[in-house]
Structure formats: structure tokens, C-alpha cells
Structure 1
Amino acid sequence: MPDIRPLHKRKRVWAGGFTLFVIGATIASTGSSQASSSPTPRPKVTVTATATQTAAPAPTVTVAVTKTAKPHPTVTVTKTVKPAAPATHRSSSGSSGSGGSNSSAGGSSSSGGGTSHPAGATALCNDGTYSYAAHHQGACSHHGGVAVFFS
């Protein structure tokens, strides 16, 4: 009848495993004792340092020539604004800067001047150029600031 016990429960397997363990331990202990009992010769290390002295270099005079740059011409582009016909700008809030009338033909408009601005312009810069920025922040940042915001 065949043995139906699991392999780890068989006595022969345990006995064989124990025997192999003992043989391996014996071989390992004899191999390590032979290596430690016979000393191996080690090479001897010698360090040698050599110092040499060199003559100090004589100081020399160094002449530095600085070339001054000539100023380049500055190009300025100026946009001329044509005076417009009487202002027809109406404030979106219903009142203008002239004191309450809806029409700005009789006085100054809420845009700060009597001239109309180009379509789509959102601000007049301090240098006379127009800004088309979508928001107030950053408008006319390279033109000296905002003189007037258009609504």
C-alpha cells in the first residue's frame, strides 16, 4: 500500500535532510579553518613623497585697454492722433462727466477728453498711445501708465 502521508511528515525525508545538513556544516567548518590557519602573504605598501621648488615668476605689468562704446541713435515712434469731430461718446452708466446729461456734445465726456478713441481701445496711455488690453492690469505698462480708461 502506498504511503499517503504528506511529504514533510515522512520520517525518511526528515532523516535525509538532517544528514545533508550535518555533512554541509562539517565541510564548511573544515574549509574555513584551513583558510584561517594558513596566513597568506600581504604586499608591503611604501609611500614616497617628493617635493620640488620652482622659481617664483616675476610680476609683470598688464595693461588693460577699455573701449568706450559710441551711443547708438534712439528711434522713437510717435503716433499722431487726429482731432475728431465733436465727441459722440456716451457713458454706459447713463451719466457723463459733464454733470448729468446723457449726451456729451455740450461738455467733456467721461473718457477724459473731447476726442473719440479708436474702436476697441480700452485705455489712453500717458505717452499718447492706445491700449487694447482686455483688463486694466498691465494696460500701458510700457508706455508710462494709464491716462484714461475707456468704458
Structure 2
Amino acid sequence: MPDIRPLHKRKRVWAGGFALFVIGATIAGAGSSEASSKPSPTVTVTATATQTAAPAPTVTVAVTETATPHPTVTVTKTVTPASTTTHRSSSGSSGGGGGSSSGGSSDSAGATSHPAGATALCNDGTYSYAAHHQGACSHHGGVAVFFR
């Protein structure tokens, strides 16, 4: 049958605890008497400061060269569109206003100055073959001229 008494009421626990206490006290008492008979070491701190001569200041000369500027080269490419005005047919008169009578219109068959199928001339000089105006020459700086 197990013991149902609380732990602090058990005699065996009390007897074991007392025995451990006595053993610990005996060891501590023996250790303290040995420690008192040994001489304790003393600590001595010694600091030494030494002054050294400061180095004499020296003069440093820095020579800086200035670079001569090189000429800047800028290349500008100008693209002229094939025709910026629409040709209006007139009754044969070559005077006055809108276009030439020599037949260089973009509406005439066979006399175009742009490749077949191109729908627009981009600002950087390339041609666009886009089916619609939206998005034509989007990565080429925009549209200079629409052909259709």
C-alpha cells in the first residue's frame, strides 16, 4: 500500500535530508580550515608611461593636373518625311497652293517613297507596319507621318 501522507511528514525524507546536511557541513568546515592556512596571493599593479618625441611636421606638395577638355561630338540625324501634305487634285493648274503637279503624291500608285505595306514613318527614321495607329512607333520616339 503506497504512503498517502504528505512529503514533509515522511520520516524517511526527514532522515535523508538531515544526513545530507551534516555531510555538507562537515565538508564545508574542513575546506574552510584548509583555506585559512594557505597564504593568499597578493596582486600588484604597475603602470609605466613613456613619452616619445613627436615627429617633426613635413611639408607635402600636391600637384594637380587639370585635364584639357576634349571636343564633344554630337551627331544629329534629321529625317524628312516623304510627304507631309496631302495632294489635292486640281484642274491641271500648277500655281498656288497644295502640292506639286509632278505626281509625287503618296496616293498615286507605284510612285511611293516608302516601303510597301508601311503605315507610318517613325521619328527615328524607321517604318512601322502596325495595323492601327495606336501603338505605331511606340518604341521609336513617336510617329512623324502616317501613310494611310
TM-score, normalised to structure 1, is: 0.42
Bigger Rg over Cα = 2
